[in-house]
């Protein structure tokens, strides 16, 4: 029985209880949200060490970190370091996007060390295996694709990104319309190329029921990928993007009817004034399904700083109703992220999510900031460091740039506003 099926039957699961405790809300609220499909709890029945978390309406905004090997860097050890860094920085989820090395072995090692929800994109492995057989990546058969999907589900993956909405009709819409950046999603580009090469419909769409059977067996949450997400501001909210979203809305209904948990992925590069509209459009077309967004990045011209551009867009998106932020690192558009990039990306996305939690009135969100403000007023440095969203970085800066035992920071020194006011504000006012 999946979490969705249990919720519809009015059964409170252990995972629902754990989510309610973390979110500081009644477990009945969690159960009702799951039953409506507005909350998902990605927790594969075979992921033994997972600490379940909820994604969706009324819950804290969650943050995902992408890691994984590439053909240029196929070694596992650096990715395990990135996994540890992401978890230490507070990521709620990790995706293994590996395309180099022994993919099943890499996935199993990551799952074994991952207590948070884990996602994958199975088509990556399917195309890598097709290429390794000596052919072309497009030689992948439909049965081979579904065999890999089942392998991922059986191994304990909690959610899978599947680009079911890249249909032949959606591809025609893209070709007729044209774009600056065409398709930037790896999975989306592969499925589009497969459809065009074979002259057949996307099997993830034409055999969607087959996909649902696999997910229901292991309670894998479907993450309906945005294969036509805009890769540039000029392409945002165009006909191709919306055409795919219409298909995804249809598939959300079909997944829910089958008892399979489902969320929807979203853009991408979106100018600031279109972010809220994108969220509202998805929530309307997809019947309130949890929305998982990459960024969105609100400018195209900041390579090296795209963790900032995405945090700006992510905060606005989450305030407008997005539920799950996929981090973007400083290495986005430039290369494979380092451990330091991973940490920076997670923290930036967490800041965006927390800012939105405050605006949305989430339990405990504003209280955290109030506690920090009180510690600052009292010049209680240890408490400030404890409350910091990144205590490691905060302590480094404090210790490197201040004399040991200094009460004020080196920015203000003897002219500390907090100290000056503390000395005089409590005294009786003596008019001149």
Q: How many CA atoms lie within 13 A of 404 on its CB side?
A: 0
Its sign, for the CA torsion 42, 44, 50, 52, is positive
- pLDDT for 260-297, tens place per residue? 999 999 999 999 999 999 999 999 999 999 999 999 99
User: What is the per-residue pLDDT for 421?
Assistant: 67
- pLDDT for 218-230, tens place per residue? 999 999 999 999 9
C-beta atoms surrounding 431 within 10 Å: 3
What share of the chain in percent tops pLDDT 70? 94
Span of 139-143, 222-226, 319-323, 417-421 with lowest mean pLDDT:
417-421
- pLDDT for 397-408, tens place per residue? 988 987 676 676
Which of the residue ranges 128-137, 366-375, 414-423 has the most confident prediction, judged by mean pLDDT?
A: 366-375
At residue 414 the predicted structure's pLDDT band, cuts being 50, 70 and 90, is low
Look at residues 202, 110, 132, 108 and name the one whose alpha carbon lies nearest to residue 162.
202
User: What is the per-residue pLDDT for 166?
Assistant: 98
User: What is the per-residue pLDDT for 401?
Assistant: 83
At residue 417 the predicted structure's pLDDT band, cuts being 50, 70 and 90, is confident
Look at residues 328, 267, 277 and name the one whose alpha carbon lies nearest to residue 303.
328
Q: Domains in the chain, please, with CATH?
A: 42-359 (3.20.20.540), 365-424 (no CATH)
At residue 135 the predicted structure's pLDDT band, cuts being 50, 70 and 90, is confident
Span of 55-64, 121-130, 215-224, 399-408 with lowest mean pLDDT:
399-408
- Average pLDDT over every residue of 151-165: 98
- pLDDT for 312-351, tens place per residue? 999 999 999 999 999 999 999 999 999 999 999 999 999 9
339 exposure class (CB count in 10 Å sphere: 0-12, 13-18, 19+) = middle
CA distances from 31 to 40, 64, 117 (A): 10, 23, 19
427 pLDDT more than 60: no
Look at residues 349, 312, 353, 310 and name the one whose alpha carbon lies nearest to residue 333.
310
């Amino acid at each position: 029985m999946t979490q969705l099926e249990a919720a519809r039957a009015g059964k409170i699961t252990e995972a629902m209880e754990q989510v309610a405790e973390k979110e500081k809300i009644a477990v009945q609220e969690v159960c009702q949200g799951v039953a409506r499909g507005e909350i998902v709890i990605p927790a594969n029945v075979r992921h033994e060490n997972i600490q379940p978390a909820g994604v969706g309406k009324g819950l804290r905004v969650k943050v995902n970190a992408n890691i994984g090997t590439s053909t240029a860097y196929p070694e596992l050890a650096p990715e395990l370091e990135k996994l540890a860094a992401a978890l230490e920085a507070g990521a709620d989820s990790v995706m293994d996007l590996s395309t180099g090395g022994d993919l099943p072995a890499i996935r199993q090692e990551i799952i074994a060390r991952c207590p948070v929800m884990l996602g994958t994109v199975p088509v990556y492995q399917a195309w890598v295996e097709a290429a390794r057989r000596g052919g072309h990546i497009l030689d992948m058969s439909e049965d081979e694709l579904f065999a890999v999907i089942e392998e991922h589900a059986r191994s304990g993956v909690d959610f899978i990104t599947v680009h079911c909405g890249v249909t032949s009709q959606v591809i025609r819409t893209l070709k007729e319309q044209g774009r600056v950046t065409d398709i930037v999603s790896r999975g989306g580009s592969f499925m589009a190329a497969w459809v065009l090469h074979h002259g057949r419909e996307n099997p993830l769409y034409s055999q969607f029921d087959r996909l649902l059977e696999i997910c229901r067996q292991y309670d894998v949450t479907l993450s309906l990928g945005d294969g036509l997400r805009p890769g540039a501001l000029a392409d945002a909210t165009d006909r191709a993007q919306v055409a795919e979203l219409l298909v995804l809305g249809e598939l959300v209904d079909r997944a829910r009817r089958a008892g399979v948990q489902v969320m929807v992925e979203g853009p991408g590069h979106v100018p600031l004034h279109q972010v809220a509209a994108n969220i509202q459009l998805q929530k309307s077309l997809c019947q309130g399904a949890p929305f998982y967004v990459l960024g969105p990045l609100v400018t195209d011209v900041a390579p090296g700083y795209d963790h900032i551009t995405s945090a700006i867009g992510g905060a606005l998106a989450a305030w407008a109703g997005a539920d799950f932020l996929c981090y973007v690192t400083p290495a986005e558009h430039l290369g494979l992220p380092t451990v330091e990039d991973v940490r920076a990306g997670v923290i930036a996305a967490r800041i965006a999510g927390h800012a939105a939690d405050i605006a949305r009135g989430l339990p405990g969100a504003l209280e955290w900031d109030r506690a920090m403000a009180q510690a600052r007023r009292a010049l209680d440095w240890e408490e400030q460091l404890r409350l910091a969203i990144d205590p490691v970085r905060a302590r480094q800066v404090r210790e490197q740039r201040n004399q040991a035992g200094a009460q004020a920071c080196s920015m203000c020194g003897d002219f500390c506003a907090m100290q000056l006011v503390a000395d005089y504000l409590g005294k009786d006012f003596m008019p001149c």
